[in-house]
């Protein structure tokens, strides 16, 4: 706006006569760049697949036709023993509940740690503004730790069970939610905080009464999304570590043929649980964020 009132901007101006040529030149150069980028990307993918292929035990093309061997074997055996399935569902239900409990506990604990971490690292809300980058960095590091690392180490110290998995997932969740929560809190309206400050409310009261009611729907929605992720993580951790339905799956798999009806029962339970949770949580999240 200022430039217009103060005359033309300095520098070479496009020549109106050769406007078309300039445009074509520019678009040609742009196309060239994207082609180079595309070729580079394709080469990278191809080289990557080749490397992965070389370091793999089995060949990709040779394995392709074997892809359905295992599922077919498993399902055909389970089909002959299909009468067992309802009983097996009941048998593994407690393990599934344990897996879900691990995920829920980890989400709650992670949220309880992540929330203060988020507030403390949010610009404008932090109790100690100078330490805000430190808390942010903390959340970054916590987020970067894969669950398996902490879980396996804790299993050595605490012994096998659900608690190492809870702590491991909660640690990662706290970092992940800390970041998401902080992004939401950054956009919160500060006027309620000012109002509360004018009545003499202390920092905790300002956050509790001024910020939390604003961010609660979004925070809950993020926590639900995290719960979906954590259910999967808890199933995987069971497989490599211990606890929950993943562990039962590992035991049934190690048995090999003869217990494939159990494998199928666990597959189905896990699949149904994940789909159901995804659907319920997505409905709940839509309600929370967009209103009813």
Partner 1 sequence: MTTVPLRALRSSFRTRRLTSLAIPAAILAYLIYLAISFDVIGLAQRASLENAKVLLSDFVSYKTHVTRSNRDGHLSVAIEGEAKGTYPAGRLPDWVTVAGDTTRIDLGRGHIVTYSPDAARYVVPGYGAIDIHSDGSKLTLTAPKPIPDWINVADTRISVTTGQGRFSYSRSKVETFRYQFGWELFFFTLDSPFYGKSYGQLTSLLTAPRIDSTQSNAALMWHDFWHNALWHHSDVAWAMGETVLMAFLGTFGAALVALPLAFFAASNFAPFRGLRFAFRRLFDFLRGVDGLIWTIILSRAFGPGPMTGALAILTTDSGTFGKMFSEALENIDEKQVEGLRSTGANALLRARFGVLPQIAPVLLSQVLYYLESNTRSATVIGAIVGGGIGLLLTQAIQTQKDWEDVAYYMILIVLMVMLMDSFSGWLRRRFIKG
Would you tell me which residues interact with partner 1 (CB under 8 A)?
41, 44-45, 48-49, 51-53, 55-60, 63-64, 66-67, 69-71, 98, 101, 104-105, 108, 140-141, 143-149, 152-153, 156-159, 161-163, 166, 172, 232-233, 235-237, 239-240, 246, 249, 253, 267, 270-271, 274-275, 278
CB of 105 to partner 1, least distance (A): 5
Nearer residue to partner 1 within complex by CB, 153 or 283: 153
Indicate the residue among 91 and 232 with the shorter CB distance to partner 1: 232
Rounded to a whole number of angstroms, the minimum distance from the CB of residue 103 to partner 1 is: 11
Least distance from partner 1 to the Cβ atom of residue 90, Å: 18
Q: Is 257 exposed, middle or buried (0-12, 13-18, 19+ CB in 10 A)?
A: exposed
Residue 204 C-beta: closest distance to partner 1, Å = 15
Nearer to partner 1, 18 or 287 (CB): 287
Closer to partner 1 by Cβ: residue 172 or 285: 172
Nearer to partner 1, 105 or 126 (CB): 105
Least Å distance, CB 7 to partner 1, is: 28
């Amino acid at each position: 706006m200022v430039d217009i009132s103060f005359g033309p901007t300095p520098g070479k101006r496009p020549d109106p006569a050769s406007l078309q040529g300039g445009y074509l030149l520019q678009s040609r150069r742009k196309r060239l760049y994207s082609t180079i980028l595309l070729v580079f990307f394709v080469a990278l993918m191809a080289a990557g697949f080749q490397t992965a292929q070389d370091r793999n035990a089995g060949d990709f093309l040779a394995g392709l036709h074997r892809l359905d061997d295992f599922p077919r074997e498993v399902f055909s055996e389970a089909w002959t023993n299909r009468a067992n399935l309802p009983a097996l569902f009941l048998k593994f239900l407690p393990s599934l509940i344990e897996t879900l409990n691990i995920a829920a506990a980890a989400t709650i604990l992670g949220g309880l740690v992540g929330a203060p971490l988020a507030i403390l690292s949010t610009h404008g809300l932090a109790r100690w503004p100078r330490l805000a980058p430190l808390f942010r960095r903390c959340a970054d590091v916590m987020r970067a730790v894969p669950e398996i690392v902490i879980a396996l180490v804790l299993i050595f110290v605490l012994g096998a069970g659900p608690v190492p998995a809870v702590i491991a997932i909660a640690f990662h969740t706290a970092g992940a939610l800390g970041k998401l929560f902080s992004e939401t809190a950054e956009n919160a309206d500060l006027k309620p905080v000012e109002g509360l400050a004018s009545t003499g409310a202390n920092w905790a009261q300002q956050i509790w009464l001024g910020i939390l009611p604003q961010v609660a729907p979004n925070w809950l929605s993020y926590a639900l999304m995290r719960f979906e992720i954590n259910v999967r993580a808890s199933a995987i951790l069971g497989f490599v570590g211990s606890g929950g339905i993943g562990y039962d799956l590992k035991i049934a798999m190690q048995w090999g043929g003869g217990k494939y009806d159990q494998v199928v029962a666990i597959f189905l339970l896990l699949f149904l649980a994940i789909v159901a949770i995804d659907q319920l949580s997505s409905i709940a999240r839509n309600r929370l964020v967009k209103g009813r």
